Amino acid sequence: MTFEPKIVGILCNWCSYTGADLAGTARIKYAPNVRVLRVMCSGRVDPTFILKAFADGADGVLVAGCHPGDCHYIEGNYKTMRRMALFKKMLADYGVEPGRFRLEWVSASEGDRWAKVVNQITEDVRKLGPAHFGTARKKKIPA
Amino acid sequence: MKRISIDPITRLEGHGKIEIFLNDDGGVANCYFQVPELRGFEKFIEGMPIEEVPRVVSRICGVCPAAHHLAAGKAVDAVYKVDPPPAAKKLRELYYSAHFFHSHIAHFYALAAPDFVVGPDADPAKRNILGIVEKVGIPVAGEVLKHRAIGQDIQIMVGGRSTHPVWTLPGGVSKGITEEQRTEIIEKAKSCVEFAKFSLKLFEDVVLNNKTYLDIILSDIYELDTYWIGTVDEKNLVNFYHGDHRVVDQKGKEVFRYKDHEYLDYIAEHVEKFTYLKFPFLKKIGWKGFVDGPESGLYQATPLSRLNAADGMATTLAHAEYEKMYKTLGGKPVKKLLATHWARLIELMYAAERMLELAEDPEIASPNFRTLPTETPQEGVGIVEAPRGILTHHFKTDKKGLVTEANLIVGTTNNHAPISMSIKRAAQKLIQPGKEIGQGLLNMVEMAFRLYDPCFSCATHSLPGEMPLVVEVKNAAGEVIRKECRP
Amino acid sequence: MAKLRLASYWAAACGGCDVAILDTHEKILDIAAAADIVFWPIALDFKYDDVEAMPDGHIDVTLFHGAVRNSENEHLARLLRAKSKVLVAFGTCAHLGGIPGLANLFDRKAIFKRVYHDSQSTVNPDGVEPQTKTQMPEGELTIPEFYDTVKCLDQVVDVDYYLPGCPPTPKQIWAVVQVIVGGQLPPKGSVVGASEKTQCDECPRKKNEKKISSFKRIATAQPEQETCYLEQGFLCLGPVTRGGCDTRCQLSGVACRGCYGPPPGVLDQGAKAVSAIASVIESKDEAEIERILAEVPDTLRSFNRFGIPASLLRRKTL
């Protein structure tokens, strides 16, 4: 049986969520592996959410926001850009393979692009196999 | 074979246990000292920026964090090939002298003194600081607390923190002291010198002038014939912060002398299966097992070693005491290990005098306490004398200054084999066929361990009542056949 | 009033927490007046057998410091939990894992390889390693099992209170002792002996707007003494660290590294540090951001120095 990655997606309301919706209304076929959470702005994404997703068993995490310069709140996605750049280094130090986490800019009109991004991350994570970052938390301590 | 387990050993820093195996006739067949702990500092600092290391490795020990912080600080200077300005070195040494002062007080008064002031086989309920207070009075206890506090306070004034200092940087320190602080430290240091005088007098009155104790000190129960190592300045006088590292032999003659970066040619470490701690030995002599004598590479690193390896103390009052000790005990080197307590008090005096000396130097309040490195970081070794023995830190970095390799040989580690042998020897001398194994006897076995001040100086006060010790004698099947309790 | 039964025990620790208790100086006599210390291996001669023999709940309060690194630490954590009415995770190691938690970037094999084989001073041609059981001519010797992963105390047993700090300040220790002796215990699970705000609230340095255009490493730069460290480009975890220590590191002339742990409501101190500090980098250009971030190497151990075991992922996956 093929491994089906569980990927958590955190999408900003104004651009990327709308873009994902467009992929749906345009009936584009693409991998079903991303479970979407909607936030008002990608700048809301605290690295804690991403770590919690991995700790609770996610195989991959995708954060999507407006293209730089297009943020509904003007500066939000610049904060995202800076945060995620540093956070990727922390993930690497935890031993999380780079392919498991992506930051993408998807505009409201980019339904095609959304589908491509999801397909790409799904395949990358499928190749990497199931993640075991939650193991440390779930392991039972021998009495 | 019958077996006595002491687990955990107590009134020291760290975890440890002693296993004593008895022959059928009740004499000691063998005795093992095991250290059950390991944390892996040498591995887990790999990849860290080297300038962060001094404030991480201080956490090797919360009793002598200053030792690790400064050894690492010196190693980091060497990594960057940077020489700190004179004020920085003086500040570090002042800090360190205050540290020695606090540490030696705590060990002597809390750990050592009860065995002497109250008595080695006295009632355990009295053999603690409260028993001391009873014997010598509350004013004395107050002075002990006050002066240990002074030692901590001077560290805080100079370096910002006493436990886990963070202030040593490549090329110096992060802050200096003001003229007001310098004046305050001078006054405090003078009080410390008086307290050191008092402590040595106490030792003389209570220990040296008591024939029973003097006999125990001069007996062969606590004795080892190893090499001795200590750090000395250019006049061959004891220095805690920096100098050449000198090894003398069983006759007191210098056999090796090395600088920080040469340590690997002189010190090596042996591994055994039954303990996590390694066993350092003199490389050029070799590891010959748990034996002493000139053919075996074992050496001790304690206050007694430092005094044995030096030609004297660098301050007046301490030097007078040094001469007195060797005159009383019949010349150098002294091998009667309980004299380590005396040596520790002589060092207390030196620490106090050195504090005063350094504080009286106006340069120590200079605002020039840091030279910024310019060289590419590479590799460095830093060695200081920890209160418990010589301490070696060695780091290699990449060009960005991230640690690639780390090697540490820590104070008490140097003494791992000697401690094992001292315990075994005391056990063999004290536990004789047919002799009752009472609480006093067991405590005297522990005294063999305690004189090394293995890294923790403990409760300066308030050890109420019971010190129970349960000794179970088990037969070969592991069944308890006899039980001795100290109530 | 009956004396409280007090115990203090250390697991994978350094002794600094015990020294901090002693640094209450003359107040230790007041502690002794109010409490009987029934187990304190560094100071008193009670042995493990004595604790085993106690009825459950016999000890009123146990101060447990040190992380859980090996089987002996774990055994004592469970034993003392059973024998204690109140168990306090005392100090950063018990609270969050502490400095020993840095070992969670490695495993037992890697640590043993360095310590017993590759270390430059080690002479070990037969490749000897410590064993949990060793047969000697006279009998079997045992030492605890060294685990791959360091844990903080509440990952092993139920903890009643957390007293942060590496070590906790004597001032805070005394404040907490008074609370305990007075019987005014806060809700279970509380952090005690610390502020509800961050370090920045206590820090005397001048604060303006944070705009980081470059990071400086303290190895090759000297901080100026009046202004906020972060504003000067020196990494400081003050914004994501609980206050209560009187900013002792900042007053020593260096920046905070987070030993008092996360502020209230923060689940992962390292994640929060990354979030807070990266967001004020003064750049909108990806390449420039990368260049600036390259000036702060060793991300995980720099942004979460003391709490890796307590973090969401707990350790590096190897």
* Domain-ending residue, one of B334, B355, B376: B355
Range C125-153 average pLDDT: 95
Residues in chain C: 318
* Domain-ending residue, one of B355, B383, B412: B355
| B27 and B140 inside one domain | no
Distances (CA, A) of A115 to A8, A19, A28, A118: 15, 9, 7, 5
* pTM, two decimal places: 0.93
Token duo for residue C85: 């009415």
C 138-177 residues inside an 8 A Cβ radius of A: 149, 151, 155-156
Alpha-carbon radius of gyration of chain B: 22
Token duo for residue C148: 């791959």
| CATH of C1-194 among 1.10.10.10, 3.30.230.10, 3.40.50.700, 2.40.160.20 | 3.40.50.700
CA gap A91, A87 in Å, rounded = 6
Report chain A residues whose CB lies below 8 A from the CB of C149: 136
DSSP code, position C2:
P
Number of domains forming the structure of chain B: 2
Q: What is the pLDDT of residues A83-115, one digit of tens each?
A: 999 999 999 999 999 999 999 999 999 999 999
| B125 domain-assigned | yes
Q: What is the pLDDT of residues C231-268, one digit of tens each?
A: 999 999 999 999 999 999 999 999 999 999 999 999 99
CA gap B128, B113 in Å, rounded = 8
| B22 and B91 inside one domain | no
| B288 domain-assigned | no
Beta pairing class for B267-270 and B403-409:
unpaired
CA gap B476, C30 in Å, rounded = 47
| B182 domain-assigned | yes
CA gap A41, A11 in Å, rounded = 8
Interface test with A, best of C279, C295, C298 (most A CBs within 10 A): C279
Token duo for residue A55: 């700790």
CA gap B79, B395 in Å, rounded = 7
The C-alpha angle C224, C225, C229, rounded to 5 degrees, equals: 70
- List the one residue out of B56, B153, C287, C179 whose CA is nearest residue A81: C287
Interface membership of C277 toward A (CB under 8 Å): yes
CA gap A59, C253 in Å, rounded = 43
Range A119-134 average pLDDT: 95
Instruction: Flag if C312 and A52 touch (Cβ within 8 Å).
Output: yes
Report chain C residues whose CB lies below 8 A from the CB of B11: 42-45
3-state secondary structure B45-108: CCCCEHHHHHHHHHHHCCCCHHHHHHHHHHHHHHHCCCCCCHHHHHHHHHHHHHHHHHHHHHHH
| B15 and B127 inside one domain | no
Report chain A residues whose CB lies below 8 A from the CB of C105: 93
CA gap B349, B321 in Å, rounded = 9
Residue ranges per structural domain of chain C: 1-194, 199-303
Question: Which own/partner contact pairs does A131-134 have at CB distance under 8 Å and 24+ positions apart?
Answer: A131/A54, A131/A57, A131/A58, A131/A59, A131/A60, A131/A96, A131/A100, A132/C317, A133/A54, A133/A55, A133/A94, A133/A96, A133/C313, A133/C317, A134/A54, A134/A55, A134/A56, A134/A57
Instruction: Flag if C271 and A90 touch (Cβ within 8 Å).
Output: yes
Report chain C residues whose CB lies below 8 A from the CB of A135: 317
3-state helix, strand, coil in chain C (%, to 5): 35, 20, 45
Report chain B residues whose CB lies below 8 A from the CB of C221: 372
Nearest chain C CA: its distance from B331 CA (Å)? 34
Chains near C with 3+ CB pairs less than 8 A apart are A, B
CA gap C64, C157 in Å, rounded = 11
Residues 6+ apart with CB under 8 A from C291: none
| B104 and B166 inside one domain | yes
Contact B230, B246 (CB under 8 A): yes
| B108 and B32 inside one domain | no
- List the one residue out of A100, B188, B41 whose CA is nearest residue C100: B41
CB neighbour class for B123 (10 Å; exposed up to 12, middle 13-18, buried from 19): middle
Distances (CA, A) of B321 to B188, B232, C303: 22, 18, 51
| B79 domain-assigned | no
* Domain-ending residue, one of B338, B355, B372: B355
Interface test with B, best of C122, C138, C151 (most B CBs within 10 A): C138
Instruction: Flag if B464 and C14 touch (Cβ within 8 Å).
Output: no
3-state helix, strand, coil in chain B (%, to 5): 45, 20, 35
| B202 and B146 inside one domain | yes
Interface membership of A26 toward C (CB under 8 Å): no
The C-alpha angle A72, A78, A84, rounded to 5 degrees, equals: 120
| B33 domain-assigned | yes
Nearest chain C CA: its distance from A20 CA (Å)? 25
| B181 and B32 inside one domain | no
CA gap B379, B77 in Å, rounded = 10
* Candidates B21, B159, B264; nearest CB to C120: B264
Contact A79, A45 (CB under 8 A): no
| B186 and B126 inside one domain | yes
Distances (CA, A) of A118 to A133, B316, C198: 22, 79, 39
* Sheet containing C84-90: order of strands: C35-39, C4-10, C59-65, C84-90, C161-163
**pLDDT for B9:** 82
Interface test with C, best of B38, B123, B475 (most C CBs within 10 A): B38
| B207 and B351 inside one domain | yes
CB neighbour class for B456 (10 Å; exposed up to 12, middle 13-18, buried from 19): buried
**pLDDT for C26:** 78
For the stretch B356-365, what's the b/e string if a residue is b when 16 or more beta carbons lie within 10 angstroms of its beta carbon? Answer: bbbbeeeebb
Range C97-123 average pLDDT: 96
| B341 domain-assigned | no
> Which H helix or E strand runs over A104?
strand A101-105
Looking at the DSSP bridge assignments, the partners of residue B397 are B403
Nearest chain C CA: its distance from B304 CA (Å)? 23
| B46 domain-assigned | no
Tens place of pLDDT for every residue, chain B, 487 residues? Answer: 788 888 888 777 778 888 989 888 888 889 888 988 889 999 999 999 999 999 999 999 998 999 999 999 999 999 999 999 999 999 999 999 999 999 999 888 877 787 877 777 777 666 766 667 677 777 888 889 899 999 999 999 999 999 999 999 999 999 999 999 999 999 999 999 999 999 999 999 988 999 988 998 999 999 999 999 999 999 999 999 999 999 999 999 999 999 999 999 999 999 999 999 999 999 999 999 999 999 999 999 999 999 999 999 999 999 999 999 999 999 999 999 999 999 999 999 999 999 999 999 999 999 999 999 999 999 999 999 999 999 999 999 999 999 999 999 998 899 999 999 998 999 889 888 888 877 778 778 888 888 888 873 222 222 222 233 445 555 555 565 555 544 4
DSSP code, position B362:
G
- List the one residue out of B36, B289, B39, B43 whose CA is nearest residue C131: B36
Q: Identify the structural domains of chain A with CATH numbers, from first to last.
A: 7-138 (3.40.50)
**pLDDT for B456:** 31
**pLDDT for B472:** 52
Which residue range is the domain that position B98 belongs to? 85-216+347-355
